[in-house]
Amino acid sequence: MAESKKPELFELSNGKITAKLTNLGATITSLLVPDAKGDLTDVVLGFDSLDTYLHENPAYLGCIVGRVANRIKEGKFKLNGVEYSLAINNPPNSLHGGNKGFNKVLWEVTEHKTGENPSITFKYHSKDGEEGYPGDVTITATYSLPSSSSLKLDMEAVPHNKATPISLAQHTYWNLAGHSSGDTLDHSIQIWATQFTPVDETAIPTGEKKAVTGTPFDFLKENKVGSRINEVPGGYDHNYVLDCGEEKSGLKHVAKVKDPKSSRVLNLWTDAPGVQFYTGNFLDGIAGKHGAKYGKHAGLCLETQGFPNAINQQNFPSVVVEPGETYKHTMLFEFSTE
């Protein structure tokens, strides 16, 4: 398909779930999911205008972030003897790929299938030196509806000529009661992680892995998002070590989220080592879709990822990908009611 020079909207639908996506940032702009009665509601935060995603989306609603998701300490790392400097766009650190990360670029649509198993593939070529990162990298992101009740995202990245850190994340904000229904503190969540990575005052992991037991980070048993959020300064914005979820088809169970009002349930599966659980702490009345105002905690993010600042932490799983290797990262979102 021809390369698009402007943001456009695309649709995937299977009769039960309807997703709207844009080639700007390979972003999910809308996702209609049924409740127990079959009533459809849009369960992701977003904007009416595609321009807003480009110019006024500091909270990264719905997009894919990269080349490296999350924070890199002081925007610096060393690889193969070379020091690299990145934009300090979240002082004192670099966040989500820099000033113009993958969320702000136009991706090419290489395939768009309709019918029973609809899918769309976005492709982007990141150049050597882009936002300070080494080497040319080709990235693809394929969204599909593999069943009547699931959305899947398959991300791949291939470095061409230099080793580079790569860690992509999908930054959708979820509100299973509906994007405009208020805060998510009443949602319940279970996270299959016995450990998390504590952070310093600038949200950079200290390098240790800490047991969640006996802390407000313990969601091994289902609990309300807001049950202990006041014990976490600022709210949840932490990486969990995915170490105890059951596996199916090569993916680990990450989390289960439930909204008591609509009975909607989201189960998330991935092959990534970590997940950032973020409770929308910085949402401050953003003007969203259809006149909605997104205040604090209006949505929650479950960003499966490599660990934050892993490029500078020897004891974290490596995010370096060598030429000839392929980075792969799959997310499966399963919707149900209970």
Q: Return the active site residues.
A: 171, 303
Q: Are 284 and 296 in contact (CB under 8 A)?
A: yes
Tally of residues, the chain? 338
Structure tokens at 256: 């289960």
**Residues 6 or more apart from 200 whose CB is under 8 A from it?**
206
- In terms of Cβ atoms closer than 10 Å to its own Cβ (0-12, 13-18, 19+), residue 186 is middle
Half-sphere CA count of 218, side-chain side, radius 13 A? 7
Residue with tokens 């080639």: 23
- Report how far residue 287's alpha carbon sits from residue 49's, in angstroms, rounded to the nearest whole number: 11
Which residues have a Cβ under 8 Å from the Cβ of 81 and sit 6 or more positions away?
Answer: none
